[in-house]
Amino acid sequence: MCGIVGIVSKDNSNVVCDIINGLEKLEYRGYDSAGLAVIDSTGLRRLRAVGKLENLVNKLKINPIYGTIGIGHTRWATHGKATEENAHPMVTKDVALVHNGIIENYKELKADLSQKGYEFTSQTDSEVVAVYLQMELDNGLRPREAFRKMLQAVRGTYAFLAIFKAQPDIIFCARNKSPIAVGFGKYMSIGSDVGSISANCSEIVYMDDGDYAEVTKDGAKFFDNGFSTIDKPRVAVTDDLVNLGKGEYSHYMIKEIMEQPSAIRKTLLGNEVPKEFFDKISRILILACGTSYHAGLVGKYWFEKYLKLPTHVEIASEYRYRSPVIEDNTLVLVITQSGETIDTLEAMEYVRKNNNTCCLAAISNVLNSAISRSADFVFHTEAGVEVGVASTKAFTAQLTVLAKLAFCKNPELLNQLQNLPMACESSLLLKEDIDKLSCRIKDCANAIYLGRDNLYPIALEGALKLKEVSYIHAEGFAAGEMKHGPIALIDDVVPVICLCPSGSMFDKMFSNIQVAQARGKNIIVFTDSMGGKSFDESVEKIVLPSINQELCPILYSIPLQLLAYTVTVLKGEDVDKPRNLAKSVTVE
């Protein structure tokens, strides 16, 4: 979602270029406008632009601004369309503010401010906060008192940064359900994403819900929601927090696809499961969104088969709205790439409030994220920074952790997991074959993905990957359900992408493919050498390495990612930043 950056120079140098660099690191989150504000000798200066960040950079070339303190923002439209008037920062005569989140009571605040004679130039909820601050300044309050009074007046989710003309050496910031971190290093910095500020920091402080901070060139003071001073632990910045760029690759997505064998190896080295972890567990509840939800669906197959524990998988954004019953002795396992997904955080909070006997565990790619800090146990996916909006290496790392959990009492399968990275490396060598295959798909309007057993969730994930980056409408189905509706879509044009490795489900899946082949000519089968012998030249085959069928969900995810990537590049779309999507969903 929206990204925010704030910088205070330690040596009175211009911070504009560093703010732009920070905003560039946030582009992957998704946005439709960008802007920044600084304080110079004349007061507040602001510049905004609709569209790509380069539009803001071009404006800066024509109308350069300078300042030793400033805030920047990339906006993903919620209240109000993507226009310059609705772009952040929101500025009044004495204050500039950026905001990530939703102000739930903005209408009543706006009505009150309008009645008092204040005017608005945007349709955003965020401008109401800036105008409220201006009102309190007009009432004679100093910036600190005005900011604190505002925090008591607003309801909703937020990460706020504000600078005041009357106090040009402080950035005021606060967090509630929207991520924010403070960096110590070359300069004092604040970011909604650690990656946006980590390159120039040696240490990071993660703010928690209810925290408020005042940041100057000399450091930062932190306060709780009662405005009492608190100490916050600093975390050293390590390589896994720093976005190291695309390197030799043309896009982040292909770079991250290629990094999967390494990510899986690193994830296998850690995440040891305590022997007694499941001793008092009678059932498992998995909460996740999007791609992480698909990982959870695979986990359900594994947990029930190898741990004999009833497992339910819920979409986190729906879970707390249906008054679910949470039974005692339940392991609640949340899965998240960013560790900041608002729906998953809210689902965790619901669990905490309604059953304090549950064990809350998290699988996260960001060790010090809000979800990691809230969980009783954390299993860390060692995927490193993932920039591409479409999750790839984080997904297979999540599956790797789920496999280690599910197979913790099965030494043979745990041992076979060690062969997985090499098999994944071999699957990446299929890229040229998949490149050729992509030409058959790039001009299609629809696609069908079919899988059975633990590959059904991978059919869902493969379809999601294709539609989120290439904009081709794709749906995944359990192959046995094909006759219950999806078969009506099959013709000679629609690609039917089938996951069919040899193993216990091969005959069933082969039969489903024959049904599809009788009705269409664009049948594509992902299989292994044994399974491939059963298919003639009338179907397009991609032959993957042979591997234990329980590990196929991880291996078969990779060529589907490559397929989505290549199709998107052939179509000329922005594969790393697909339209309307955000990497981390921090607003409901």
- Check whether residue 32 and residue 98 sit in a common domain: yes
Contacts of 116 (CB under 8 A, 6+ apart): 135
Of 179, 207, 241, which residue sits at a domain end?
241
CA distances from 106 to 3, 114, 192, 211, 399 (A): 21, 12, 22, 21, 41
Task: Please identify which residue in the block is written with the tokens 């404006």.
Answer: 59
- Contact (CB, 8 A) for 207 and 180: yes
Q: CA-CA distance, 89 to 361, in Å (whole number)?
A: 37
Q: Hey, what are 564's tokens?
A: 């989505």
Residue type, 256: E
- Check whether residue 199 and residue 215 sit in a common domain: yes
Q: CA-CA distance, 298 to 406, in Å (whole number)?
A: 10
- Check whether residue 51 and residue 149 sit in a common domain: yes
Predicted local distance difference test score (pLDDT) of residue 210: 93
CATH number at residue 437: 3.40.50.10490
Q: Hey, what are 147's tokens?
A: 């900011």
Of 361, 390, 418, which residue sits at a domain end?
418
Q: CA-CA distance, 154 to 109, in Å (whole number)?
A: 8
Helix ranges, 393-481 (H):
393-406, 411-417, 420-428, 431-438, 456-470
- Check whether residue 457 and residue 338 sit in a common domain: no
Split the chain (588 residues) into runs of 10 and give each run's mean pLDDT.
89 93 83 93 93 93 95 86 93 96 94 96 95 97 97 95 96 93 94 83 91 96 94 83 77 95 94 86 95 97 97 93 90 91 88 88 87 89 89 97 96 94 95 92 95 97 97 95 88 94 93 89 94 90 95 98 97 90 63
Do the domain assignments include residue 197?
yes
- Check whether residue 192 and residue 318 sit in a common domain: no
- Check whether residue 361 and residue 502 sit in a common domain: no
Can you point out the beta strands (E) in 300-423?
311-315, 330-336, 359-364, 377-380
- Check whether residue 92 and residue 228 sit in a common domain: yes
- Model pTM above 0.85: no
- Check whether residue 386 and residue 454 sit in a common domain: no
Handedness of CA 15, 20, 21, 25 (dihedral sign): positive
- Check whether residue 399 and residue 449 sit in a common domain: no
CATH number at residue 200: 3.60.20.10
User: Before 421, cis peptide (omega within 30)?
Assistant: no
Can you point out the beta strands (E) in 233-295?
235-236, 283-288
Q: CA-CA distance, 107 to 105, in Å (whole number)?
A: 6
- Check whether residue 56 and residue 167 sit in a common domain: yes
Predicted local distance difference test score (pLDDT) of residue 584: 62
Residues with catalytic function: 2, 583
Tally of domains within the chain: 3
Do the domain assignments include residue 529?
yes
Q: Which domain holds residue 229?
A: 3-241
According to DSSP, residue 317 is labeled H
Q: Hey, what are 263's tokens?
A: 């990510």
- Check whether residue 264 and residue 233 sit in a common domain: no
Helix ranges, 419-455 (H):
420-428, 431-438
Do the domain assignments include residue 582?
no
Contacts of 217 (CB under 8 A, 6+ apart): 8, 9, 10, 169, 187, 188
According to DSSP, residue 97 is labeled E
Of 418, 452, 475, which residue sits at a domain end?
418
Contacts of 488 (CB under 8 A, 6+ apart): none
User: Phi, psi (5° rounding) for residue 527?
Assistant: -145, -170
